Chain A
Amino acid sequence: QKEVEQDPGPLSVPEGAIVSLNCTYSNSAFQYFMWYRQYSRKGPELLMYTYSSGNKEDGRFTAQVDKSSKYISLFIRDSQPSDSATYLCAMKESGYSTLTFGKGTMLLVSP
C-alpha cells in the first residue's frame, strides 16, 4: 500500500461549485498536513497547512484533517476558473523530516 493515496482526476466542475479533494495515508506518525497548488508549467506553491487534526479555513478554502481515519480533505467554495490546477497533498512527521506527496488531483473549473 502506497503511503499517500490521491485520486489523479481530472475533476471537472462548473464555476461556482463546491469542490472536495481528498487524500488518505497510512503512516500514523504524520503530524503536518499540507495542500500545494500547481499551475501548469509552474512549481507547486503552498496553499494551506494544518497541524494534527481539525479544520482550518482561509477564504474560500477549508482544510480538514481526520487522523483517526487517516484522511484529509480540501474544500473549495465558489470555485473559479482560476482554481484550475493540480492540487497535491503532502504530509510530514514532527521535527525535520521529508515531505511525502500525493500524486496530485487535476481540477478543471469551467466558466
Chain B
Amino acid sequence: EAQVTQNPRYLITVTGKKLTVTCSQNMNHEYMSWYRQDPGLGLRQIYYSMNVEVTDKGDVPEGYKVSRKEKRNFPLILESPSPNQTSLYFCASSSRVNGETQYFGPGTRLLVL
C-alpha cells in the first residue's frame, strides 16, 4: 500500500530536549516536505527536499532541521524545542512528474512543556 508514515504520532516533551520525528514514504517520490498546522494559521511549510541531499527552507524553518540521506526518509529534528513549537506536524511526498499530488502522512501531535 502506498503510504507516508510518521513516528511518533503523539509526543509530549519538555523545553530544550532534542527530538526527532521520522517520516518515510514507499512510493519512490523525489519530493518530500514538512508542514505544521496550527489553528487559525493553516498549513505552513517548514522545509522541503527535492531529492537526496537537497533540502531548502520553507516558510517557517526557524528552530527546525532536516536531512535527506535516503530517498525514502526525511526526518524532522528539533534541536531545542520550545513551547511555540507545540503543533500538529505533517510530512508529505510527491513525485517530480506529478508534484501537485502530495501524499500526506497521518500527522504527529507535539506538545512542548
Contacts and interface: CB of A to CB of B under 8 A. Distances in A.
Contacts, number: 48
Interface stretch (B12-20, B39-47, B71-79): B39-47
Interface of B: 4, 31, 33, 40-43, 45, 48, 50, 58, 90, 92, 96, 99-107
B101 A88 contact: no
B42 A45 contact: no
Greatest chain A CB density within 10 A among B102, B105, B107 is at: B102
Nearest to B4: A43
26 contacts: A8-B40, A32-B100, A34-B100, A42-B107, A43-B90, A43-B105, A43-B106, A43-B107, A44-B90, A44-B102, A46-B102, A46-B103, A88-B42, A88-B43, A92-B99, A92-B100, A96-B50, A96-B99, A97-B99, A98-B33, A98-B45, A99-B45, A99-B100, A101-B43, A104-B42, A104-B43
B104 to A, nearest CB: 3
Interface of A: 8, 32, 34, 41-46, 49, 88, 92, 96-99, 101-104
A45 B101 CA distance: 9
B106 A103 contact: no
A98 B100 contact: no
Greatest chain A CB density within 10 A among B43, B90, B105 is at: B43
Contacts of B92: 43
